[in-house]
Structure formats: structure tokens, C-alpha cells
Chains A and B, each alone.
Chain A
Amino acid sequence: MAGSNGIASQDWAGRYDHIDQILNTPGPRTSPAFMAGDGVKDFLRNQAKILVIGAGGLGCEILANLALTGFKDIHVIDMDTIDISNLNRQFLFRPKDVGQPKATVAAEFIMKRVPGIKVTPYFGKIQDKDDEYYMQFNLVICGLDSVEARRWINATLVNLVDPENLESLKPLIDGGTEGFKGQARVILPTITSCYECSLDMLNKPTAFPICTIANTPRLPEHCIEWASVLEWPRVHRDKKMDTDDPDHINWLYTVASARAREFKIEGVTWSLTQGVVKNIIPAIASTNAIIAAACCNEAFKIATSSAAFLNNYFMLIGTEGVYSYTFEHEKRDDCPVCGGESLEMSIGPEITVEELIDMLTEKQDIQIKKPSLSSGSIQIYLQAPPQLEAITRPNLQKKVSELLPTGGEVTVTASTLPFNLSLNITYK
């Protein structure tokens, strides 16, 4: 294909022969939008811009897969630095890289190893970046181990969707692994079930009853939790425990070991201590490889329209044999991120908060009783608890226009609403 329209100018002959088998001709399952041949190749190799969040166990695999598939403009964000314990599976890192930012080292490695690929690293938090930053990508792939970070990016991409701007809808492909288990899913923000919709499906971290930890420890983990949950706050009071600080882990290890001796429990080690307090589930390289492959496969299908993509949740259980299950996780009407409803309300500038509440309760279609209203950090009117009701009550007589600029968003909750409602207020 070399040079036919300049796409492959830096690619040697036959570089993408294996991929081109898929891209050159439509198949029975390709969508009508599929532009077989140069069109799709040009998009994949010259236009698509993809963001990878996380450059750890999953991230290393994802970056390598994407680069070898032919994505050429890849960005990667990770806030961590390389630890020696990462080296067994995070194969873009070498002993000399310990202490360096994962994003930077991973980007350099890929660029060196796979010619013609641009990987732009950012060493920092996803929360440092604004909407404009996320807007530049066609696709986002997450290989994260943090629920909180996933909730954040999910909500950010759902909020980014602007019905007036088709480009604002960024498919989110989320991979996750825990030991021999893993999942890959495709989220089309506002269209399909989002990460928040499935929050209660998550395995929660193992927590031991606090009374077991306090009185009847039987496992080394009980001794470590005793040190971190009960002894740390008792001895250090308000000083926060930093699980990345080796001195803190040392202290916990010493205290947990003494406790273990007292109860004749074996198995408290420094690395177990770190593992328990950081809630580390042993990462399995092959699980990461499978999940990363599933994610990148979806990225490729979505970017090229060459085949139907995952709808929408793939689950892998490799604890006993290999079991996988694919299903459509349903969107939740009461999801605080993608569910709920939004109402445009155009009101007179003289309308008071109380009148606005009356207007809402009179709306037949939403059946709302006793709504509570806030906007960002401003509490407009809360029905309960009594103290907050009393504090916000004077607002009832105020004009909405005194409290909110035009275009202001109001979050409405009420016990009669299974979802939350948001109002976009403009003034007549």
C-alpha cells in the first residue's frame, strides 16, 4: 500500500498487511459506514487520536497493542512512578527506570520500539485536565485500578456530551482486572449504561469485621488491619496515614508483627502489610494481557467501523478454568451521572425560589413532591435535615435570579424521584 495517498509514506512495505486484510474489504458484519480501503486507513493512521488512562499493568499492554494496530497519535496519562515490584509485568519498564514517571517512560519506550508512532505522555492526575483537553480525542481507553478515578472520567465524558456537537461523544472503553478476573466494557456516554450505573456490581474490597480485628485475630491480615485501622489513629491521632510512605508501612509492619507474635499468627511480612493497606490484589500478567487485548480490539472496531463492537460488558473469570460472559448491562434510570432528566426552564426574573418549587410540584409529568434544590456548592433549598432546612428557608423568598446566573444548573432531588433531575434555568 506504500505511498498511494501519502498515508503510508513512513511505513515500510507490508507493515500493516495483517491489519489491512480487515480494512481492505467490507465483511458481512461491517457497518454501512465502513469506508473500506484508504478511507479507513487514513482515519486510523492519520486522524484518530486516542487517550490511554493508566500506564500500569493494563496500560503497558494497551499502549503496545494500539501502537502495533496502527494508531499513531496516542496520549497517555498516569500519576504514578515506577516501583521495582512493577517490573514483572509492566514490560515497558526496566530496572533503570525505577522512580521515573510511568507515562513518560512508557511513551518513550513505545516510540523507540514502534517507528512512526507519536505517544504524548502526561505525568499527573486525570483531574488536572479540563474538558477542552478531553475534547481533542476520538476515543478513551482506561486501564485503571482506582474506582474513584474511573468514576471521575466516566462522569467527565458523560458531561462532555453536547447534543449540538457530534464530536463531543467520546466512546469510553474501560478495562479492569483483579487477579484472575477481569472485565472490558464499551461505554457510549449518555447512550449506554455508564460506569456509575454498575457501581453496585463491583466486588468490594475484603474488609474484616472490626470486632474480629480487635479481639479474635486469626490471619496475618487481621493483625495488619489492627495496626492500620485501630492503632494508627489511636497513636497518631489526626496524622493521615500515607500508604506510599515506606516509613508508615514500616511502622505498621512493626506493630502488626508484634500483634501477630502475641496471638501466635504467622505470615505478617512487609510486602503483605503494604498489600493489605494499599488493597493490592496480586496482578496477573495474563489477565492483563487478555483484558487489554479485548479493549484494544474494541478501540479498533469503533475507530474503523470494521466490525460490530461489544455491547457492552465482557466479563472474564479465570479462577477455575476460563469462563467468559458477555451481556448488555442496562442503563439505570436513577444513575446520578447518566440517568435522570434534564429540564429547560425559562422563568421570569421576578420568580422566587418558592414559586419555582411550586412550578415543579405542579408539573404532572414528573410527579415531584418536596424537592430539594442545589446548584454546585450553593444550597438553594433543602427539605431536611431540620438545621439545613432552617438555614436555607430564607432563600424561598429570594428571587431565583439573585441566586443563579442565566444558564445556571440546578440539581433537584426528592424522595418521590427515583432519579435526580437537573434544571437549566434561563430568564425571560
Chain B
Amino acid sequence: MIKIWSMKKNEDAAAKKKPKVSAAQIRVQKDLTELDLPATMQTNFPDPADLLNFILTITPDEGMYKGGAFVFSFAINSNYPHDPPKVKCTQTIYHPNVDLEGNVCLNILREDWKPVLNLNSVMVGLQYLFLEPNADDPLNKEAAVEMSKARDQFLSNVKSSMRGANIKGVQYANVLVR
């Protein structure tokens, strides 16, 4: 058997014993404790001992979604950051990039996810969707069509949906900040 330890001479071998904490766990601790969020975003941990499942509330202070509080669930698996976090909107909202099931169209949550990205990048990306909804990547097709073809109608739909209106048979959640 090769004498591997002779290679180690120049290293500080004694200082390398590591704790039994998974790489995913360390990364999540690092990501969460280094979150640098504006006042418009807040995290909440239903079970504070569980860092892998939490809620993010976005309360935009400008743009057409101002006045609403939008709630997303985050679920991180043990293969993070190889796998992206799973993010869903927990309310039924009227938004071109969020469908009625809460699926979100944000490239870095799927096709453009990379391990060098972190939770902060995802959260900033989500907030950006409320400042600049994107009709080119629709998940709620009707909302997207409305946004590009009839902007005034779209804006008024946004406002009434946020108050919990029923639009074309869909009951939206009242998301107004109380």
C-alpha cells in the first residue's frame, strides 16, 4: 500500500479533524446567517430548530404590487447546494410569473441554478419579480397576455386581486398588509 502519510509531512495534520456536520447543513447555516435582506423581506421559521424549511414574506415598497405581503415556502434538501431550494408561493396570486398552484418561474430556481448561487440570490430574484413582472416568461398566461396587451386592465386586476377579488372565476387571496 502506498505510503500516503509521508505526503502529509508539510501539512498541519492535527488541525484537520472535522465535525460530523453535513456539507449541506454548513452551507445552509452560512447562507442564512449571511442573509442581507432589505426591510421588504422577512424570513420566518415555523420550527426554529429546522433550518431547511422556512417562510419568506415579501412586502414590496414600490411598483404595482406595493401594499401586498407575498408569502413563499422554502424547502431545502440534503443535496443542497447541488440541488436548488424548492420555492412555492403559498397564496393564490395574480402574477404573470406565478401560477395558481404557487409555482414560480424564476430561472435560478431551475435551469440556471448553480451551487455558487445562494439563498440570498434566490430571495433577491423573487423580490425582483414583484418589481418587474416579466410577460415573456409566463406561468399565468392570462395575466401575462393582459399585461402586454391591456396594461390598464392588468394593473386594475393586480389591485383587485390583492384585495381578494374573484377574477374570471378565480378566487385570489387577500394579500394586503394588515
Contact = CB atoms under 8 A, between A and B. Distances in A.
**Do A and B assemble together?**
yes
A127 to B, nearest CB: 10
A200 B115 contact: yes
Interface centre among B27, B29, B49, B138 (most CB of A within 10 A): B29
Given A209-B110, A372-B29, A384 B34 contact: yes
Contacts of B1: 43, 48, 138, 302-303, 305
Contacts of B141: 214-215
B19 A163 contact: no
Given A210-B103, A382-B29, A411-B19, A169 B4 contact: yes
A384 B45 CA distance: 12
Nearest to A337: B23
Contacts of B34: 384, 413-415
A147 B111 CA distance: 18
Interface centre among B1, B15, B82, B107 (most CB of A within 10 A): B1
B82 A147 contact: yes
Give the interface residue-count category, chain A. Answer: 35 or more
Given A151-B82, A196-B23, A385 B37 contact: yes
A161 B16 contact: yes
Interface in A196-212: 196, 199-200, 202, 204, 207-211
Contacts of A383: 33
B122 interface: no
Given A200-B114, A372-B29, A166 B5 contact: yes
Interface in B5-51: 5, 7-8, 11, 13-23, 25-27, 29-30, 32-35, 37, 42-45, 48-49, 51
22 contacts: A147-B82, A151-B79, A158-B18, A191-B11, A199-B82, A200-B115, A208-B110, A215-B138, A309-B2, A341-B15, A374-B29, A376-B21, A384-B35, A385-B32, A385-B42, A387-B43, A388-B51, A411-B19, A411-B26, A411-B29, A415-B34, A424-B17
Interface of A: 31, 33, 43, 48, 138, 147-148, 151, 155, 158-159, 161-163, 166, 169, 171, 188, 190-191, 196, 199-200, 202, 204, 207-211, 214-215, 229-230, 233-234, 301-303, 305, 309, 336-338, 340-344, 372, 374-377, 379, 382-388, 391, 409-411, 413-415, 420, 422, 424
